[in-house]
Structure 1
Amino acid sequence: MTAVYVATFGMLSVAGLLTVVRLVRGPRTLDRVLALDVLLVLIVAGAAASIAVTGRGLVVAVLLSVALLSFIGSISAIRLVERWEGHR
């Protein structure tokens, strides 16, 4: 099972690096908002995998809260960008 956890964290790390590249390079604002949302999802997935490794389920409520706030924040940012770019 240790190899599975190492592979999981390795894939999450590579996905995180690629997402940070997309976040920095852009080119549009919506690309950056989407990259930030994907990065938050990867962080939640990494924390969930960490919970699976350690067996401690005390932070599940925190993970759900972060995931919900990430979703609401992404929807709000997308709506704001659409309105802002619609006025141009």
Structure 2
Amino acid sequence: MVESINEDRANEEDNRMTASFDLQIEELPLNPAYNKTLPIFLATNSDLLELCKKLVIRGEYHAWYANLPCSNTPRDNAPEPAADDTDEEQTV
């Protein structure tokens, strides 16, 4: 009897936590980070298409992978330094 009461309480707490978590996610506005699909390296594309041929990637996704834009030019993803950052602060 005591065990079932404890289980009920635990389930109620789990449900409350899940419900509040779901509400928080639903209220967040999501905006696209990019205006178009970013290109991937040709080598990466080749590897992905090979996985498609071997059926490691499900067939329903093959067209999506086949149509990904590719590039040989590496993209600089390093963040820009903040306007108030100086070289003096970086040297220790």
More strand by share: 2
Counting helix residues as a fraction of each chain, which structure ranks higher? 1
Same fold, TM-score > 0.5, yes or no: no
